[in-house]
Chain A
Amino acid sequence: EIVMTQSPATLSVSPGEGATLSCRASQSVSSNLAWYQQKPGQAPRLLIYGASTRATGIPARFSGSGSGTEFTLTISSLQSEDFAVYYCQQYNNWPRTFGQGTKVEIK
């Protein structure tokens, strides 16, 4: 099983500032990496797939990069609606595995 490790666990950011979230895979997943956003009481929402392709309707302030084992999600200027938990997921192998999540909170 591929283990996905996200860092940091919690990120405190002021509105308008940028945020960088990291995700590391225990073995290469090529570019088969997705990012999801989850708000309290809601289902996750797809943000990024293929490591860097924004899903339909996702604002341009969200960007993804990386390949192999190291990935990054960047939010260029945090809006109030962006404070949430973010998960990375590899879909290169079964079982599909998620990171433990990074909570982005208001500073």
Chain B
Amino acid sequence: EVQLLESGGGLVQPGGSLRLSCAASGFTFSSYAMTWVRQAPGKGLECVSSISDTGGSTLYADSVKGRFTVSRDNSKNTLFLQMNTLRAEDTAVYYCARAGPYYLAYWGQGTLVTVSS
């Protein structure tokens, strides 16, 4: 069974940093691209960042480019999202999702990031 478990969310002040993790199990992690999707409270879905199976290719939404960095450790079946210079508008539930190969076949339950002073 595919399982994705996000962690690392919490309350952070504007300008601060946070690192999200997504632990994967139930599939060969190193064979799949992965994506971070966020959802602001009461709002729709936004693809934030995507990373290829090897980690050699990354993509970012314009809204986070230069502030967020996606990475992965295939030896530990874990996906990361380093978020710097956080803004109030980054407040959202962050989901990790497994590509299937391009649509989002499996999703974690999400971790809430709140940016507030």
Contacts and interface: CB of A to CB of B under 8 A. Distances in A.
Interface of A: 32, 34, 36, 42-46, 49-50, 55, 87, 89, 91, 94-101
Interface string B32-76: 000101000000111100100000000101100000000000000
Given A43-B95, A44-B104, A49-B100, A98 B45 contact: yes
A46 B35 CA distance: 14
A43 B103 contact: no
B59 A34 contact: no
Interface string B69-107: 000000000000000000000000001000010111111
A100 B44 CA distance: 6
Nearest to B60: A95
Contact of A89 (B50, B61, B103, B109): B103
Given A44-B104, A46-B100, A96 B35 contact: yes
A87 to B, nearest CB: 6
B108 interface: yes
A76 B114 CA distance: 39
Interface of B: 35, 37, 44-47, 50, 59, 61-62, 95, 100, 102-110
Interface class of chain B by DSSP: strand
A100 B61 CA distance: 17
Given A94-B50, A95-B61, A96-B35, A44 B103 contact: no
Contacts of A50: 103
Nearest to A46: B105
A43 B47 contact: no
A96 B47 CA distance: 6
A46 B2 CA distance: 13
Nearest to A101: B44
Nearest to B35: A96
B107 A98 contact: no
**Which of B45, B61, B107 has the largest number of chain A CB atoms within 10 A?**
B45
B44 A36 contact: no
A32 B107 CA distance: 19
